[in-house]
Amino acid sequence: MTAQFHLDQLGKWSPEHDFAVDEERVRAYAAATNDPIALHRDGELAPPVFAIVPLWDTLLETVGRIASPELALLAVHGEQDMRFHQPIVPGMTLRSRGAPVGVHSKPSGTTVVSRLESRDGSSGALVNEQYCVTFFRGVAGGDGGGEQAPDHRMPATRPAGPTATVTQHFDDDQTFRYSKASGDLMPIHLDAEIARSVGLPGIIIHGLCTMAFTSWAAIEQLAGGDPRRLRRLAVRFSRPVLPGDDVTTRFWSVGVDAGAETYAYEAANPAGDAVIKDGLAEVAS
């Protein structure tokens, strides 16, 4: 399939949108991602991947400015890269915006790179910045241009033996709970017939839900249970996770720099197939 992507929109920021963070929404997101961390479950701090919630409508608008609506069911989440400058807390009003910054075609499809940011509505201070890669399967987009997403590839040579290994279970109703808490109502996560119509085996877990699971695994295993130490989390989604799956994540320490330790990680399904590749977590020392 060939489609025209609107390259004239590259680099153009969306209008700013305000989002009031409330304790109930924070607690609901933690519960929907099976997050065991008390600060999240009690609604004192938002889980790190909650950072997408205030930006969700902005992301859809940003991608929609560069890709036509009929391509929506061909879109899958390719990568997400989040950098945390300060935690999100209830009572905060976030002011967010987004811009499409790159379009790149290859034989298997076309990627759209979006840059997103949220600031404290009171002080203007940067709270988080994100890059999202949306992949349009089987869509040829012709000429591309703009930025690539920041690199977070797994090192060519891994250290021997993982630093930590965690196995987590995804519940049968996970996608329904996550959709409600996150606002992501994409039908491939809620309707098996629609999911199969686009070549999926059935309902699949939201990529950001899988990422949220790995975030609390990283906080527990690498940050001493303190979510405020997580500075960056980046992933490439490589295969769908299905409701009922057990997923095992392995972290490897790959260096210390500027007061933070960097870990590479991968997550695999019960068959041993990687569902997340090129994972990266930065944790303040």
- Confidence grade of residue 60 (pLDDT, cut at 50, 70, 90): very high
Can you tell me the distance from the alpha carbon of 212 to that of 82, in angstroms, rounded to the nearest whole number?
11
What are the pLDDT digits (tens) for 23-32? 999 999 999 9
Sketch out the chain's domains with CATH numbers. 7-284 (3.10.129.10)
Q: Which residue has the higher pLDDT, 283 or 68?
A: 283
Can you tell me the distance from the alpha carbon of 187 to that of 165, in angstroms, rounded to the nearest whole number?
32
With beta carbons less than 8 A apart as the criterion, state whether 92 and 138 touch: no
User: Looking up tokens 């391509």, which residue turns up?
Assistant: 71
State residue 8's pLDDT score. 94
Give the burial string for 214-228 (b: 16+ CB within 10 Å, else e).
Answer: bbbbbbbbbbeeebe
What are the pLDDT digits (tens) for 163-219? 999 999 999 999 999 999 999 998 999 999 999 998 889 999 999 999 999 999 999
Can you tell me the distance from the alpha carbon of 18 to that of 156, in angstroms, rounded to the nearest whole number?
41
Q: Residue 159's Cα: distance from chain center in Å?
A: 26
Q: Which of 153, 118, 149 is nearest to 131 (CA)?
A: 149
With beta carbons less than 8 A apart as the criterion, state whether 158 and 266 touch: no
